Amino acid sequence: EPIVSREVWQAVQDKIQEAREYNPTVHRMVKPSCFSGKIICGECGDTFKRRIHSCTDHKYIAWCCNTHIKDKDRCHMLLIRDDALKQSFTTMLNKLIFSHRQILKPYLESLKTSSSDDSLHRIQQIQTLLAQNTEKRETLTMLMTQGIIDPVLYSQETNELLSQADSFRDEIEALKNEVSGDVNKVTETTALIHFAEKSAMLQEFDKDLFDRYVKRIIVHSRNDIRFELKCGLTLRERK
C-alpha cells in the first residue's frame, strides 16, 4: 500500500516544481524545460504546466493545461507526455528537411512578393495624404489670421484635421510593423531553408533546434499538435 494517496503525492511534486521555478538556489541546479511557457491549450488558451506522473512501474514527465488542473469542468484538455511532444517535433522537422523544396521555398517566394509591396505602396499614399492634411491646416491658419474665417470655425476644422493626421500616423506605424514582420519572416524562413538543405534526418529531439525555430506549441488534443514556427508557418502533427 502507498504511504500517501496519489493526490497528495502529486501536490508535493507541484510544490517541488514551484520551488524550482521561484527559488534561486534550486533554480541553479535544475534547468528549465525548453517547453516552459510555450505550450498553449487549443481549447481555453491557457499555458501548460510541467508535472510528474506515475504509472505502475515508472514515472514520466507530462504537460497539463493550467486551467484543467484547477477546474476540469472549465477545460477538458488531457495531459500530453513530454516524450510525445519531443517525438512530434522531431517528426515535423524531419518532414521539413525531406520536403523543404516543396514547402519552404514556395513559401519564401510568396513572402517576398505579397503583402510587403502592397504595404509600402499604401504607406506612400498615406504620406501624400498626410502632406495634404498639413497644407490644409496651414491654409486655415492663414485664413484665420487674415480674418476671413472666424476662430470657432478655425478651431473646429483644425481639430478635425489633427484627428485625421493622427489616424494617418497610426496606420503608417501599423503598416511599418507589418513590413518589419514580413522581413523577419523572410529572414527566419531563409535560415530554416539553409538548415534543411544541409541537415541529415534527426534521430532524436534537439533542444537547440526547438529553441531556434519554434515560437510556441498549440495543443488541440494528444493527436493534434501544432508547431507555430518563427518564420510564420504553423505545421500540424497528427498521430
Give pLDDT, residue 181: 73
The grid cell for 5 is 494517496
- The whole-model pTM stands at 0.65
Give pLDDT, residue 31: 65
Mind listing the pLDDT tens digit for each residue in 79-126? 999 999 999 999 999 999 999 999 999 998 888 776 567 777 788 889
The grid cell for 63 is 504537460
The phi and psi torsions of 167 (rounded to 5 degrees) equal -65, -40
Grid look-up 523577419 returns 184
Give pLDDT, residue 27: 47
What tens-digit pLDDT sequence spans the chain (239 residues)? 667 777 777 777 777 766 665 555 554 445 678 999 999 999 999 999 999 888 778 889 999 999 999 999 999 999 999 999 999 999 999 999 999 999 999 998 888 776 567 777 788 889 899 999 999 999 999 999 998 988 999 999 999 999 999 999 998 888 877 777 777 888 899 999 999 999 999 999 999 999 999 999 999 999 999 999 999 999 999 87
Contact 208, 196 (CB under 8 A): no
In angstroms, rounded to a whole number, what is the distance separating the alpha carbons of residues 55 and 53? 7
Give pLDDT, residue 134: 93
Give pLDDT, residue 30: 52
In angstroms, rounded to a whole number, what is the distance separating the alpha carbons of residues 36 and 58? 23
Measured from the Cβ of residue 178, the count of other Cβ atoms closer than 10 Å reads: 17
